[in-house]
Amino acid sequence: MRLLKLSLFALVAMIFIALPLTAQDDLDPAAVPLVEVVEQSELFADWLARHPGYTPKAYGPDENGLWYIEFYSADDEWLGYANVDAASGEITGSFAPVPLQPADYQTQLDAIRLHVLADAEVLAWLNNQPDLWEVYPEWNRWEQRWDIGFYRGIEGVMVYAVVDENGDVYIADVLDPHQLDEAAALAEARDRAITLAYSAGGVDKALAGSDDWTTYAEPQGETQWGVTFVSGDRALFFALVDVEAGEVLSAE
């Protein structure tokens, strides 16, 4: 498995004479100039221009003097966020789920195809027979990467790839998508088990006076989970639940 660290865009505020595309009547006055910095930044200027009537929201400042600013489209689609230093006006972190322009999409897709099908690790996953697999490349705008799925019958291989600012392609990860689905299902079952355990009779009394408790959930069979509420090294409460039936089987 290979991981790739993605660097943040270095964003520089630009001064525009044009008015912003959205009203800011509901913003804290202190946040208005910071919102304008984000609106005029390299990442957001063109992106927000595609969404007339968008709405900014601002929260802050926090203990470090940072404001959290995010944007929503007229139909309430989340358009991205930025953290801005109130003192300097510097954008310290940001993200927007920007899709690729059509020309960039095709250029990157061509580069991705060449690189991925020549990668030794990918070829090993494909048993060195890439022509026998159906290929489904997709630009993932939320992760800002390419997700390339290879499928042959019930077998599957997922490749995550990134094209950097110089046009170079990097393989970020290669994995079995079925295992990914299994991990997601397991996490969902664990969350349901904890929710069920928290509804058990007596749990409120057991946790009373303990603010630092945490939970540990372990599968006890196909659909049963044991959930323990712990504070430090002391077990406060235990519940056995059935996530499929939605029932608490026992508690102590």
The reported pLDDT for the residue numbered 3 is 38
- Please return the burial class of 202, using the count of CB atoms within 10 Å of its CB with bins 0-12, 13-18 and 19+: exposed
Name the residue among 119, 174, 120 with its Cα closest to residue 150. Answer: 174
Using DSSP's 3-state secondary structure scheme, residue 129 falls into: coil
Angstrom CA distances, 140 to 18, 106, 144, 146, stand at 32, 14, 6, 6
The token duo for 207 is 């946790």
pTM of the model: 0.61
pLDDT in tens, 95-150: 999 999 898 999 999 999 999 999 999 999 999 999 999 999 999 999 899 999 99
The reported pLDDT for the residue numbered 48 is 96
Please tell me the distance from the alpha carbon of residue 166 to that of residue 111, in angstroms, as a whole number: 12
Series of mean pLDDT values for 10-residue runs along the chain (252 residues): 36 31 63 94 95 93 90 93 93 94 92 94 95 94 94 93 91 86 78 84 80 83 86 85 85 82
**Across-strand partners of 150?**
135, 157
The reported pLDDT for the residue numbered 11 is 32
107: CB partners within 8 A, 6+ apart: 167
> Which residue carries 């997700």 as its tokens?
147
The token duo for 35 is 């919102």
Please tell me the distance from the alpha carbon of residue 24 to that of residue 88, in angstroms, as a whole number: 21
Using DSSP's 3-state secondary structure scheme, residue 33 falls into: helix
The reported pLDDT for the residue numbered 165 is 84
102: CB partners within 8 A, 6+ apart: none
